[in-house]
Amino acid sequence: MESTPEKILSDILIGVAGANVTGSDIVIIKSIILDSRRVMPGSLFVALRGTQTDGHQYIGTATELGATAILCEELPEKISDNVTYIQVPDSAEAMGLIAAAFYNHPSQKITLVGVTGTNGKTSVATFLFQLFRALGYRCGLISTVQNQIEDEVIPSTHTTPDAVALNHLLAQMQKNKCSHVFMEVSSHAVAQHRITGLHFAGGIFTNITHDHLDFHKTFDNYIKAKKGFFDQLPKTAFALVNVDDRRGAVMVQNTKAKVETYSLQTLASFKGKIISDTLAGMHMEVNNQEVWFRVIGRFNAYNLLSVYGAAVLLGEKPESVLTELSNLKSPPGRFEQFHSADNIVGIVDYAHTPDALENVLETINHLRSGNEKVITVVGCGGNRDAEKRPKMAAIACKLSNRVILTSDNPRYEEPMDILEQMRKGVPPLDYKKTSVIEDRYEAINRAFEEANPEDIILIAGKGHENYQEIKGVKHHFDDKEVLLEAFAKRYS
């Protein structure tokens, strides 16, 4: 059974600026809790102001359940004599610092590399994880798809866990003798201080395009959140940026870290050139060395360049890095290919932003050899950035011969409301080639019924996910399973 750390409150408050303590600061803290229902004696309850609820309204519940201490921005009207209150300007920021101290600063004892950007985060973090394991290191992975300690898989609920869960996970990785950890850093994580208190050895910027405006409200706020990660990097770290993205330079304009660059188009620390790209693999030149990779597509050329650059910056030999990189495969649900007996190509991809969908479809069109049709099945998630819905449909129409708009994760929205918003992006000339089929299972099967040998079917939006979220319930649904079943039905 895993041992639980115990800390004196005053020890974990070191470094928390502006903390005003009411009560004793020499009490023992056995856990840091965000959910008031899980509070026990010895708990430090954190009252967070969230997007849905304000944790301050649960301070009374936490007190009744025996909380030893309360971290809050506003003191409650009723102060309990046997509870210590720590009032701070920002509970989330303080929690990051306290969580790191509670778990003995695990990020300082490992080589932690963060990856941020709109697209490519999962692929880059996963490639780094696979690469460094192949190079002989014990590694951890924190990603949208899954968290992993060597071979042990820990299911993932957020791209970046909350600060307490994150430090607990890093402590587990350190305990399991991981020397390197690679993690996705979402814009939410920066804005909500989930990474506050962590020590990074390096940060990677992939690209930035339209996404998450439901949370950030403006594109400028979204850029600032991404940039905030690089602003926090120490001078001992590296900041590796894609300079082909016009906001690459913006990301690092205030960083203390050592700035390095990668590019397919211009001079950079790590320069790549695509020599050939086929469904079988990609031939590239990387810093004047020719290499054959199993993964394909221009977007993956950028991913591979960033991974190569990060590995070299972490002290690995370029030749060894390229040798191991040439053997890597795409992460689950990232341009994952399946081939039927009569050579229909099915591709499952997580593309759920306009830019990601455009990248994937442009790659597919670039790889086409003749008259194959491209059939795209795509939807948009509910209770998320609605502005991208018509854009996604317009891109699918522009770059496909046939488009089927369908349900993704509608969450608490009505699927047909989402699809109506998508349909507004369909140009009048493309009405005939576009269908709306709400049921995702039916939509995928329709694509295969209409496909001929050599045609390419893209099932976009969910990738690795094995569920469909409807009205707060996650129902089992796996695009890959449905695709393979459709292949089997074709020949039954």
The binding site consists of 34, 36, 117-123, 159-160, 186, 192, 194, 384, 408-411, 461, 465
Torsion-angle region of residue 21: left (phi > 0), alpha (psi -120 to 50) or beta? beta
Whether the Cβ atoms of residue 161 and residue 199 lie closer than 8 Å to each other: no
Structure token pair of residue 187: 């814009």
Cβ contact 198:174 at 8 Å: no
Nearest to 219 by CA among 93, 392, 388, 378: 388
Name the token pair of 365.
């069109």
The count of other CB atoms within 10 Å of the CB of residue 7 is 19
Report the binding-site residues for ATP: 117-123
- What the block records as the tokens of 397 is 């129409």
| Conformational region of residue 482, where left means phi above 0, alpha means psi within -120 to 50, and beta covers everything else | alpha
**3-class secondary structure, 50:** coil
Residue type, 4: T
Q: What is the rounded distance in angstroms from the CA atom of residue 25 to the CA atom of residue 16? A: 13
Structure token pair of residue 491: 């020949």
Contact 46, 87 (CB under 8 A): no
Q: How far apart are CA 419 and CA 404, in angstroms?
A: 10
The CA–CA distances, whole Å, from 22 to 27, 45, 65, 364 equal 12, 15, 19, 62
Residue 355, helix vs strand vs coil: helix
C-alpha 451/C-alpha 436 separation (Å) is: 17
Contact 107, 87 (CB under 8 A): no
Annotated binding-site positions for meso-2,6-diaminopimelate: 384, 408-411, 461, 465
Report residue 311 as tokens: 């590995």
